[in-house]
Each structure stands twice: as C-alpha cells, then as structure tokens.
A and B are shown apart, each in its own frame.
Chain A
C-alpha cells in the first residue's frame, strides 16, 4: 500500500495543477498579509487600508449611538436604540471582528466552491488511470489486495487535499490572528468540513471512475450531480413542481449530498462565528460519500481488468 501511496503522490506532483493549488493558497495568505493593513488601538480598529487605500478613516466606536438628522436616537423595530455596531456584518461584535470574519468567510467560501472544483480537476483522472489497460496490468498483479490498491490511491489523494486545506486555512487564520489579535479557533473547524465535502465529491469520482474507467466521464457525472443537488436545494422547488414528482424530488434531496446547504450556511458560519444550524446536511452528505466509497471498493474488488 505504501508503494501505491508514494506512486500517487508522485503522480499528483507531476500534475502541475496540484502544485498550482499550493501556489494559489500561498498567494492568498501572502496577499492577505501584505494588502490588509489594520491599525489596532487597544483592541479596537482605528483604521484599515486595503491595497494602500484607506477603507476606515477614523476610529470607529461600535457602541456610539446612531442619531438622525435632528439628533434623535435611531431605534430598531423593537424600539431599542441602535449603535454604529448594530449593522456590523458577519456576526462581529466589533468592527475589527467583522473585518476578520469577512476575510475568513471570503477565504472559506472561495476554498469551498472554487477550491474543491479545482482540486477535482487536479485529481479526477487518478482513479480511472488505475483501471487503464497496461497500467492496471502492472499494478493489480502485485501481491496487494484490490482494496489496498484503491485504498492507497485514495489515501494519497486525501492526504494531499487535507494538507492543502489545512495549509490555506491555517495560514489565513494565523495571518488574521497575528494582525488583529483576535484568535478565533472556530474558523479552523471549517477545515474538516471543507475536506469532508471534498471527500464526498471525490466518492462520486471514485465510483464512476471505477465503474467506467473514464476520467472525463467521472468528472462530468460529478459536476452534473453537483448541479442537480444545487437545484434540489432550492426551498421553493417542492411546492412548484407537479405533485406526482414531489416525493421523488424530496427523496433525492435527502439521499444526495447537500453541497449548497453546507457551502452557503455551515462553512461561512463557521468562519464568522454564527449559528451553523443542523448538522443534517453535512451528516447526510458524508453518509452518501461513505455509501459511494463502499460501492466503489466492492466494484473494484470484483471487476475484471
């Protein structure tokens, strides 16, 4: 299994896209470190510059009451006086926290949607390659069980992807924490979530790759499935379709992974300290991934090459 693990690592290194992903991750945290200049005074944000442009020009006190043109306090719907901090985005209690959370939400969102997609392109062909004639002949005639062969392959892909996600999120977290003094370890919980969802996506690549032996087909099916799950996640969908199809659509929503729910709710909320809501979307997605892997292993063990 070690041999196949190492071989896969070398294959990933040879695919320049994986190296490129690490370069992009480096560019992200270096850019964040250099471009965002924060003036923090006594734990509060006194000023901020992005790429040298002043974005906050004066000290900001989130507790300062908001007043209208006549000097009267502005009240919210419940009649409570509003302050300058009332509208702070991304669950920040202070402007500084909001800036940190905004940056982290941006990075985690980009890593989830764009990063997983790029990682998929970088690693998608690896499973199908394993089944190609000439290559399979050499590898599958070694004294290794089929499970060890597929397991070694997957282990290497997962190790690289976990390293990539940890590197990106860890570096961004360190940069933001050191610059602001706000240490929010909760952001790091996005690492297992993003990695877990990559593993779910990759389970489809694995299953289709083992079944068809085609790298392009496994990518097309996976992307198609991702699109379908996004459509199924539209809340109004069940009420707008024919009653006959409703159970099918609702059933498909529950069976298939919930990329949309995890990507739009759980990942940003982890980054911004908000309520992540129910774990059902993540748990059911992981269950789907587990089932796909089990099927892929069973198929790979029985197939003729």
Chain B
C-alpha cells in the first residue's frame, strides 16, 4: 500500500485489432496528495488514455496503478475520485439540481449531504439561478460548470479535470482557475489535462509532457522552464570593451523601448554572475534588472513536442552601445 495520490508502475495501453495502436507506452508516475499536476501533450499524445486508465474506463495492457493505495481495477478506487471528462453529456431532461443529485447518488453520497453539497456547488459555479432548468437548455459554458460541480459532489481526494475551461468565457475561466486553486488549498489533488498552457503554468505545481504515448518531460514548472545557468539582464548601453571582456558569457538579445539593452548572461554559477555584474558596474554600466532566464511553458511545450530549438538560442546580433 502507498499513500500516494497516484502511483503508476509501467502503466501502458495498446489498443488491439489488426493494426495495434500504442496509445500509452509503459509509464511510471507518482503524484503526491495535494499536488496540482498538469498533463500536457499534443492531440493523440495519450493524455486522455492515461486519465481513462487511472479511472478504470480503459483496461491497462501493461503495468498497474493505484489511487491512494487502491488498485485502479477496483471500483472502490474511484470512491475518492471526481472526474470532469472532456465533452461530457448529461441527460438533457434533468435539471442541474437533479443531475447533481443522481450522479452523487451513484458515487455513494448520502441524501442529506447530496442536497447541501449540491446547493453549495451550484452557488460556487454560479448556477444557482439555473438550478431547476433542464440541462438541455444550458450553454456550453454552463454545462462545463455543471460538469465541474458534478465532479466535486463526492468531496473527492483527487479530481481529474479534462479541459475544464473548454467553451468557458474568460470570466468563467478565471473562476474555474480560482476554484482549482481553492481545491489545492483544501488539500485536494488535482490532475489537470489542458491545452491552455498559461492556465497550467499558473495553477500546477508539477507538469508532465506526453508525446506519441511517451513521457518526454516531467518536473516542477520552475524546473522545466528555467534555462540552466542563464540570467536575463537589462542594462544601459554596453561598451565594446566590456563585451570583449565578458566574451561568450554575455549575449545581446535586443533593446527595450527605453533604449536599454536586454542580454543573457550564461555563467557557471552565482559567483561568476556577480563577477560579471561587478565588471559591468566597473565599466559604468547601470543595471536595471537581473532575473533567472526562463522559457514560458508554451515555449517549452512547443520545443518539446516539435523538437524546435529553445527560444533565445539564436540570439539577435549584438547592439553596439
């Protein structure tokens, strides 16, 4: 037994048939309780297959996994889980309140808790005003919010969200993001599958990138986006002598609107960075900003799935000061 929220060992799926399709190559994955884990990847990368495997919708071809120590093959494992699937469908004749009640009943939630929980969640996803309207009259955004409420009815310890902001307007998107942050604050493990990388970057503590059924990157957002031992500098104009002295350690990236120079210092460690800064100041260069160089998650994603070079690898030509 393990107290990990998700523990997968060699979990893989190959769909059979005349031409077998490898949807997910054997994968090891550990997600700790309370983590907000983001799963990224292009279409067909195996993201949904992984979620379906973990929730028992698909049977693994290889390996095994547990949710909070319970084997995924057992229905009991899903008692602690909530799921918002992509493109979910609810019976159109049910009202929002009835939908929450019926699906929570299937999750084993008692009648008293169902009523109170439904009221609270309808309020939380801003559907109180439409609680008694048939679901068939809902817009896509409303359906998405109802799906989110449905996934939380059983007070899950882990919630799988597949494209939770799909079809939701920017205001709704922000609300869903704050809801996810609220779940994180409540200690709920969130497994987020989304194409909106900016959202993943904002809310996830750890991220994995899948491509062609294989995990190609995994780590904290900070680990993945930080570019080794590089720092971005914004300074006043750099004299040629300074550039010559610093050599390969400093590359010019461009200029700001105010005429300041943007450059990247690639040095072995913090001491070397400070030595470079000392040299700049000694040459009369004013330092406006110093920060660790990072890629956006989007840049990282594009680079990872397409194999294109890192952003900034091909720097603009030096700007004479």
Contact = CB atoms under 8 A, between A and B. Distances in A.
Given A140-B56, A141-B56, A134 B89 contact: yes
A134 B85 contact: yes
A224 to B, nearest CB: 26
A2 interface: yes
A139 interface: yes
Interface stretch (A5-13, A187-195, A250-258): A5-13
A299 B87 CA distance: 25
B83 A138 contact: yes
Given A10-B91, A137-B57, A144 B106 contact: yes
Interface of A: 2-4, 6-7, 10-11, 14, 132-145, 148, 302, 304-305
Given A7-B102, A302-B59, A304-B57, A138 B89 contact: yes
Interface of B: 15, 52, 55-59, 75-79, 81, 83, 85, 87-91, 93-94, 98, 102-103, 105-108, 147, 150
B55 A141 contact: yes
A269 to B, nearest CB: 42
B79 A143 contact: yes
Nearest to A1: B106
Nearest to B108: A143
Contact of A14 (B85, B91, B147, B150): B91
B106 A3 contact: yes
B83 A137 contact: yes
A305 B57 contact: yes
Contacts of A14: 91, 93
Contact of A133 (B77, B87, B102): B87
B85 A138 contact: yes
Contacts of A6: 102, 105
Contacts of B93: 10-11, 14
A11 B99 CA distance: 12
Contacts of B94: 10
B15 A145 contact: no
B106 to A, nearest CB: 4
Contact of A141 (B59, B78, B91, B105): B78
A88 B42 CA distance: 78
B143 to A, nearest CB: 10
A145 B147 CA distance: 22
A144 B102 CA distance: 14
A304 B15 contact: yes
Most buried by A among B78, B87, B89, B150: B89
19 contacts: A3-B102, A6-B102, A6-B105, A7-B91, A132-B89, A133-B87, A134-B89, A137-B88, A138-B85, A138-B88, A138-B89, A138-B103, A138-B150, A142-B106, A143-B75, A143-B107, A144-B75, A145-B75, A302-B59
Contacts of A137: 52, 57, 83, 85, 87-88
B232 to A, nearest CB: 44
A141 B81 CA distance: 8
A303 to B, nearest CB: 8
A140 B57 contact: yes
